[in-house]
């Protein structure tokens, strides 16, 4: 069903149906999706670094195997999302270059350091928890390949969140040192996780158009609020304190009142001034250079195979 013309595009969006790669679509819709899906994919790939550096220091073989599986999943999510972006007419090489040169970004959250083993639990619980809150609505996004990629990603993300929460639970029920380590990690990851949802709605440049095109289904602040409401009871079960003295249930609103993250800090981190921004991009560039021989070998093998087929 290759759609033609804007009228049919608008009709498909209005009917809550899916736009597919060969359908006619406004250039701005295509460009906006390439921007978001590419940055989402870059986030998955860069997100492997903060967790990857604890694989060799996991406290047990079981924890090491779980963390290894999670980091491998993130690589898969990245490849899935790069493939979804390619259906919009952009090549993998262009996307790699956009990340490596800093032209395209990745999620602010991965520019923070992972200082202790408890960070692995805090990231699973909070960062993957926030990712789930953000990604479940994206399963109903109007662009078919992105929505379908999200369905698979969300299933694996639930495992990521569960393993992080369980690991933090063990620490929070452990020795005083372990409890202190868990609390310290929650203190450091709480506000950056709230910031993951983006600037406040009033400062969101893309939300109005993204919601009109049914890419973004809920606003940044709506999802942030949903995340806070979800985390408060979970923190109580864990026995950790969320680092926000203003966190209180508001009966009138039916939600928790909370202190917003520092949005000036978010914009500084988004512009490349995060605690680990330079290190993350340098690491990714080194990995890309180190992997050049693999790409060349794969290309040479493919060319040889094609010559055989053509002969």
Residues at the interface with ligand 3HC (CB under 6 A) = 35-36, 39-40, 43-44, 47, 74, 105, 107-108, 127-128, 131, 134, 195-199, 204-207, 210, 216, 220, 270
* φ, ψ (nearest 5 deg) of residue 49: -70, -55
Contact 181, 114 (CB under 8 A): no
Which residue lies nearer to ligand 3HC by CB, 87 or 108? 108
- Tell me which DSSP letter residue 274 carries: S
Task: In angstroms, give the least distance from the CB of 238 to ligand 3HC.
Answer: 19
Task: In angstroms, give the least distance from the CB of 239 to ligand 3HC.
Answer: 24
Task: In angstroms, give the least distance from the CB of 138 to ligand 3HC.
Answer: 6
State the Cα–Cα distance between residues 185 and 174, nearest whole angstrom.
15
Which residue lies nearer to ligand 3HC by CB, 104 or 116? 104
State the Cα–Cα distance between residues 85 and 109, nearest whole angstrom.
22
Which residue lies nearer to ligand 3HC by CB, 119 or 128? 128
Task: In angstroms, give the least distance from the CB of 283 to ligand 3HC.
Answer: 17
Which residue lies nearer to ligand 3HC by CB, 48 or 172? 48
Which residue lies nearer to ligand 3HC by CB, 116 or 277? 277
* φ, ψ (nearest 5 deg) of residue 248: -145, 150
3-class DSSP state of 249: strand
State the Cα–Cα distance between residues 267 and 265, nearest whole angstrom.
5
Task: Specify the pairing of strand 255-257 against strand 248-250.
Answer: antiparallel
Task: In angstroms, give the least distance from the CB of 14 to ligand 3HC.
Answer: 21
């Amino acid at each position: 069903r290759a759609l033609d013309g804007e009228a049919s595009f608008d009709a498909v969006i209005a009917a809550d149906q899916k736009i597919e790669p060969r359908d006619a679509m406004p250039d701005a819709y295509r460009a906006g999706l390439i921007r978001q899906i590419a940055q989402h994919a870059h986030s998955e790939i860069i997100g492997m670094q903060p967790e990857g550096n604890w694989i060799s220091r996991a406290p047990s073989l079981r924890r090491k195997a779980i963390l290894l599986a999670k980091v491998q999943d993130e690589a898969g999510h990245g490849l899935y999302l790069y493939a979804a972006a390619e259906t919009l007419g952009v090549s993998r090489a262009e996307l790699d270059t956009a990340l490596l040169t800093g032209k395209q970004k990745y999620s602010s959250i991965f520019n923070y350091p992972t200082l202790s083993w408890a960070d692995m639990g805090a990231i699973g619980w909070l960062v993957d928890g926030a990712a789930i809150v953000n990604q479940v609505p994206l399963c109903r996004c109007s662009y078919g390949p992105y929505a379908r990629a999200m369905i698979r990603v969300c299933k694996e993300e639930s495992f990521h969140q569960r393993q992080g929460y369980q690991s933090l639970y063990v620490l929070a029920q452990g020795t005083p040192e372990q409890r202190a380590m868990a609390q310290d990690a929650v203190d450091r990851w709480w506000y950056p996780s709230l910031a993951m949802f983006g600037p406040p709605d009033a400062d969101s440049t893309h939300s109005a158009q993204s919601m009109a095109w049914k890419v973004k289904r809920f606003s940044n602040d709506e999802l942030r609020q949903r995340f806070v409401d979800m985390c408060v009871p979970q923190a109580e079960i864990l026995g950790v304190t969320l680092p926000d003295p203003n966190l209180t249930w508001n009966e009138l609103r039916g939600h928790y009142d909370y202190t917003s993250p520092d949005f000036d800090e978010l914009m500084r981190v988004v512009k490349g001034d995060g605690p680990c921004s330079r290190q993350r991009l340098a690491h990714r560039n080194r990995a890309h250079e180190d992997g050049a021989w693999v790409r060349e070998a794969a290309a040479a093998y493919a060319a040889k195979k094609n010559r055989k087929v053509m002969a």
